[in-house]
Structure 1
Amino acid sequence: MAARTKGRDRLLTKMRALPSEVRSAIKQALAEGADEITDMQRRLVPKQSGDLAKSIGSTFGKYRAENANVRGVSAFAGAGDPDLTVTIHAGDAKAYYASFVEFGTAPHVNGGKFKGTQHPGTAPQPFFFPAYRALRKRVKSRITRATNRAAKKVAGK
């Protein structure tokens, strides 16, 4: 004797609708989180010319680094899904020195015009990863809440 599920068709329809609702909710939460992180990074970055602060940004989908030399990739809903992957990056052709500022430089012997002179190195002035670490739990919670809200919305229809 086979068991019958009352309202099975309606349930399957709701489950098919879930991915598109959830995907759009996750994408919106990711965008809000990326904006929040990049805003904090811009506030923390040392400013001389402002080029480094201008180079901080986020990109959805497959990211091709032109000259960004500090970046973190977050994929929250399935590895390799370009719609639900955001890359936060710093550095460009003008601000090629983003990693030098973030991680510092070691003492070294100069080349070029001042060949043979000793460079004392520079101290790190982190701005990229401290902002990420400070906000990562908040962003993950926002994504979880958005996913749950979207699932309840679809289930309630």
Structure 2
Amino acid sequence: MSSNKAALDAIRRDLLKTIPAQVKAEVAKALDKAADEMASGAKALAPEGETGDLETSIRVEAGPDELSRTVVAGGAAVDYPTFVEFGTPTADAEPFFWPAFRLLRKRREGQIHRAMNRALKDFAG
């Protein structure tokens, strides 16, 4: 399994090298916007706690390469987002992350596809 992942990672790295810089820049802007909207949606749906730490912990981080972003909830100080999202035997689930993901999915995909098409048309002249 790990050899398959390594092979796919290598293919992805090689493909990323073939994308022109101006196309990458346009797509990166669309990815940033989409990730920010996803994080905002998750924050809006996050249940209000006593401290507001859960909402504050939702953020966008750089992904494993230049054309990926990761929306994260939690961290060292907030280790319970999974329990809030999916519930526990003693607490009901209060989903916030995956509903935001599903709600904004088509919008995000459209933004990214439009940015790619626009950038490729500009590049091709």
The one-letter amino acid of 2:53's match is: D
Cα deviation digits, residues 56-100 of structure 1 (max 9, x gap): 0111133xxxxxxxxxxxxxxxxxxx0011111101122111111
Quick one: percent identity of the two aligned structures? 43
Q: Secondary structure at the match of 1:26?
A: helix
Gaps of 5+ in 1: 1-16, 63-81, 107-120
The equivalent residue for 2:25 is: 24
Counterpart in the other structure of 2:34: 33
Shift of 1:18: 6.2
Task: Specify the structure having the higher radius of gyration (Cα).
Answer: 1
The answer to whether residue 97 in structure 2 is matched with residue 97 in structure 1 is no
Q: Distance in 1 between matches of 2:23 and 2:109?
A: 15
After superposition, the C-alpha distances for 1:96-142 in whole angstroms (9 at most, x for unaligned) are: 11111000001xxxxxxxxxxxxxx1100000010001111111111
Residues in 2 aligned to 1:47 and 1:152: alpha-carbon distance in whole angstroms: 45
Residue correspondence of structure 1 range 47-126 to structure 2 within 5 A = 47-48=48-49, 49-62=51-64, 82-106=65-89, 121-126=90-95
Cα distance in 2 for residues equivalent to 1:44 and 1:18: 36
1:83 alignment partner, SS class: coil
Q: Which runs of 4+ in 1 moved over 2 A?
A: none
Q: TM-score, normalised by structure 2?
A: 0.80
Q: How many residues align?
A: 107
Alignment of 1:139-154 (within 5 A): 139-154=108-123
Structure with bigger strand share is 1
Query: 1 or 2, which has the higher helix percentage?
Result: 2
TM-score by length of 1: 0.65
| SS in structure 2 of the partner of residue 58 of structure 1 | strand
